[in-house]
Chain A
């Protein structure tokens, strides 16, 4: 996948857009379908379906054409192509050639069968109503990639979307499922509507329930199965969900649709489109087959401007959770999401504008440049679960929507290594620090990453220094250094040409180093000032005194600063025998003002700043300082102050406070 391409043409005057994706036709890959099958629907009343067919070969080519409608297959005139020729067919015209009006066959299917040994034709179509602006893509699907009889599409608007929906304000929508039976015998189709049950459908992180539990699939995604529909031989049915929408818990941000058919894999194809009430906006959703491994990856250009949003919808079509590798590339920078894991049947919506504007660093510290308007988004499943995705580009002003599903790899990405971050960190005894384990994946052109912190096995190299729990949370126990090691086992994959299978289960480990600091002492740093109090009152008695303010630095067992924010602290002040100022109590940072010792060592809501520092104001107010109306030095009161920082009492660093009338000394200074 060195290069992926897509083409978009828009007509703002008619609020219409047309988009198509480049097809990989590299010699030897043979990705072009052996048969081309498409569906038309809603014809009549001036609406036509146009089909564009291109011969990608430098040699001539030919094809047979069949039209399925009214329960029968009809042969149409064959096609011949010159080298690299493109032909445009009108379904209305083809029907007319068979003396059938479009109104008599509003739904049907077209099949193009190349007659050469090597497929060379690609095709795409469009159903257009110039009067209303109705415009929808007519995809040519390849039944041969359908390995199971289940199809799925992702993230369609339904009803009037919620205010927080990507589709908010764009109208009221009715999804249509148009299914075509490729068999000459009847079969049934079963449609299931999947929808987000709780908030978090736009999350870029691992999801949990409000109570913190991981929950089950049904907690996150609701499912409403519809009654099975009969599909006659060669029949195409346009099933509008209008009649069943009242059974859904509307409004919804979006819904996804699953279509199961009773025939063998590849015996039916389907299209899904959500039509706005006025008919001027149709949101297409291409259906992917659950057995098509190619559906589990994507790479598309994205664009953002004042009127344009790009939304990536990702759906897990399977029954197991599935991690997703995600990256955005723009202006030479890469940005990763490492915590996207889809619950079974969950559809997640990732708004690329929100992601850009959040300016939140990824696990490598990278940001999406704030002004970035164009780039590419790439994603892939990291386990062998059926997953699909599509990039929706909404142009609000034009009332148009484009859906892109450029696929890049047939297999899940393979596990290639494990990193632990940070490589080295200093933590405080008694406090916690999160280590992270990030697994790297390759095998699909680009590297991807996923956060396996909670899934890895963690161990400490020295539990007397620091312990680590199953979530990678290290807790400082004692002074020293210890390694925090994560071990994680993943899966590598191999594509057989048809199936994606596991080829290995490698395990990797890596470590970070935890240097544990123990709060041991406080040193006075900077900001030291004394203010004389000419008068003060202690419960009614007049006195005078002094206030001193300075800043403390918390130091570790080696006398080195502990530059850690949010260490809680508190102090206790105790009387000594020297009490010449007749001080009877001390107000302290935390509670308590009575007895031989005042205060508690907390914590009580005070925390160090980002440098592991805090300010202290010590004060004294004593009538003994003012025997005749003038503040004088009348002796001193010595008290001992003991601090507790981050839960660790600094018992070996008891401060001697000398309260005097014109100064307060700490340890004699």
Chain B
């Protein structure tokens, strides 16, 4: 007897995910079979974010928006695993690699992993803490702290700060210890703990550094480098938000 498999996408997820660590759960998702899956992406970040969304993979992406990384990607897989799909994408872009750390798939360009010009290698200041705050607000606060290092505010003594963070999703409050971690590790930890499941750092391909010597960044919603006073920026998304970023209207317009 032979059976025809006609499923578009079939995923098996760990049944007892709640009892497993984030890393174990992620490993199970990566090892899940994919009977058939087709993907078209406008470059490595788009392709990766799409599979992060499709297979619900917590993911951190640090990439340089150059011609090579923007090369379109299109492929169909049959009877493979999610891990194989991920590897296929990463392998298609020379210089990139991935690893699974702290319950997050981390994709990065090898030469930036330990680059001192990469703000992700900065240490989170000792005073920074996340106490009963939602993940999105913690991300805004982390961004504020990192910006104060990369683009020093030089606030006068006794200066205070105010803030506003808004979101359309329901988030639960978190208490996390991030001090001593690199910014990369802190973002991984936020992704692991919060409803936001993708962080994307888009380094500009334009030459030059910030006055403090860091690589400049862009975001998906702001496709040119930010002014140095607002460096660095990054995207911090839920899985559902990814496609909305590229089509930020109720329904996408036709050409």
Given the interface pairs A565-B250, A583-B159, A625-B160, the reply to whether A589 lies near B166 with Cβ below 8 Å is yes
Chain B contacts of A639 at CB under 8 A? 162
Minimum CB–CB distance for B87 against chain A, Å = 20
A186 CA / B149 CA spacing, docked (Å): 90
Chain B contacts of A508 at CB under 8 A? none
Task: Let me know if A587 and B143 touch, CB within 8 A.
Answer: yes
Task: Let me know if B255 and A588 touch, CB within 8 A.
Answer: no
A607 CA / B4 CA spacing, docked (Å): 42
Given the interface pairs A169-B4, A624-B160, A659-B162, the reply to whether A593 lies near B153 with Cβ below 8 Å is yes
**8 A Cβ contacts from B105-159 to A:** 127-128, 132-134, 137, 140-141, 143-145, 147-148, 153, 155-159
Q: Which residue of B lies closest to A544 (CB)?
A: B160
Task: Specify which of A537, A587, A609 is in contact with B127 (CB 8 Å cutoff).
Answer: A537
Given the interface pairs A210-B40, A309-B4, the reply to whether A623 lies near B158 with Cβ below 8 Å is yes
Chain B contacts of A566 at CB under 8 A? 168, 244, 248-250
Q: Is A622 an interface residue (CB 8 A)?
A: yes
Chain A contacts of B21 at CB under 8 A? none
Chain A contacts of B144 at CB under 8 A? 587, 593
Q: Could you say which of B12-20, B61-69, B183-191, B214-222 contacts chain A?
A: B214-222
Q: Which residue of A lies closest to B235 (CB)?
A: A605
Minimum CB–CB distance for A320 against chain B, Å = 24
Of the four ranges (under 10, 10 to 19, 20 to 34, 35 or more), the interface on chain B belongs to 35 or more
Chain A contacts of B40 at CB under 8 A? 210
Task: Let me know if B160 and A163 touch, CB within 8 A.
Answer: no
**8 A Cβ contacts from A580-635 to B:** 581-589, 591-594, 599, 602-609, 613-625
Q: Which residue of B lies closest to A475 (CB)?
A: B253
A607 CA / B145 CA spacing, docked (Å): 25
Given the interface pairs A539-B148, A605-B241, the reply to whether A620 lies near B162 with Cβ below 8 Å is yes
Q: Which residue of B lies closest to A545 (CB)?
A: B160
Query: 0/1 per residue, B212-255, Cβ < 8 Å to A?
Result: 00000001111000100110010101000100110011111111
Chain A contacts of B2 at CB under 8 A? 169-170, 396, 399
Given the interface pairs A351-B6, A396-B3, A567-B250, the reply to whether A617 lies near B132 with Cβ below 8 Å is no
Q: Is B24 an interface residue (CB 8 A)?
A: no
A176 CA / B114 CA spacing, docked (Å): 64
Task: Let me know if B36 and A591 touch, CB within 8 A.
Answer: no
Most buried by B among A210, A547, A608, A624: A547
Task: Let me know if A538 and B159 touch, CB within 8 A.
Answer: yes
Query: 0/1 per residue, A413-433, Cβ < 8 Å to B?
Result: 000000000000001100111
A571 CA / B165 CA spacing, docked (Å): 9
Task: Specify which of B6, B137, B161, B168 is in contact with A353 (CB 8 Å cutoff).
Answer: B6
Chain B contacts of A167 at CB under 8 A? 4
Given the interface pairs A593-B144, A603-B221, A604-B219, the reply to whether A586 lies near B244 with Cβ below 8 Å is no
Task: Let me know if A589 and B164 touch, CB within 8 A.
Answer: yes
Task: Let me know if B167 and A593 touch, CB within 8 A.
Answer: no
Most buried by B among A427, A428, A588: A588
A589 CA / B63 CA spacing, docked (Å): 23
Given the interface pairs A210-B74, A603-B248, the reply to whether A573 lies near B168 with Cβ below 8 Å is no
Task: Let me know if A538 and B155 touch, CB within 8 A.
Answer: yes
A623 CA / B161 CA spacing, docked (Å): 9
**8 A Cβ contacts from A89-147 to B:** none
Q: Is A354 an interface residue (CB 8 A)?
A: yes
Chain B contacts of A164 at CB under 8 A? 6, 36, 78
Q: Is A189 an interface residue (CB 8 A)?
A: no
Minimum CB–CB distance for A619 against chain B, Å = 4
Chain B contacts of A394 at CB under 8 A? 4
Chain B contacts of A614 at CB under 8 A? 166-168
Most buried by A among B74, B132, B137, B165: B165
Task: Let me know if B250 and A587 touch, CB within 8 A.
Answer: no
Given the interface pairs A427-B250, A541-B159, the reply to whether A616 lies near B241 with Cβ below 8 Å is no
Given the interface pairs A169-B2, A537-B127, A541-B158, the reply to whether A606 lies near B166 with Cβ below 8 Å is yes
Chain B contacts of A471 at CB under 8 A? 254
**8 A Cβ contacts from A466-486 to B:** 469, 471, 473, 475
Q: Is B38 an interface residue (CB 8 A)?
A: yes
Given the interface pairs A394-B4, A604-B222, A617-B134, the reply to whether A623 lies near B164 with Cβ below 8 Å is no
Task: Specify which of B127, B163, B219, B221 is in contact with A586 (CB 8 Å cutoff).
Answer: B163
Chain B contacts of A248 at CB under 8 A? none
Chain B contacts of A618 at CB under 8 A? 162-164
Q: Is A564 an interface residue (CB 8 A)?
A: yes
Q: Is A637 an interface residue (CB 8 A)?
A: yes
Q: Which residue of A lies closest to B254 (CB)?
A: A471
Residues of A within 8 A of B (CB): 163-164, 166-170, 199, 210, 212, 307, 309, 351, 353-354, 394, 396-397, 399, 427-428, 431-434, 469, 471, 473, 475, 531, 537-541, 543, 545, 547, 549, 552, 564-571, 573, 581-589, 591-594, 599, 602-609, 613-625, 637, 639, 641, 657, 659
Closest 3 CB pairs of A and B: A622-B160, A537-B127, A584-B159
Given contacts A531-B132, A547-B133, A585-B155, 6 further A-B contacts (CB under 8 A): A539-B155, A585-B161, A605-B219, A605-B244, A620-B162, A624-B158
Residues of B within 8 A of A (CB): 1-6, 8, 36, 38, 40, 74, 76, 78-79, 127-128, 132-134, 137, 140-141, 143-145, 147-148, 153, 155-171, 219-222, 226, 229-230, 233, 235, 237, 241, 244-245, 248-255
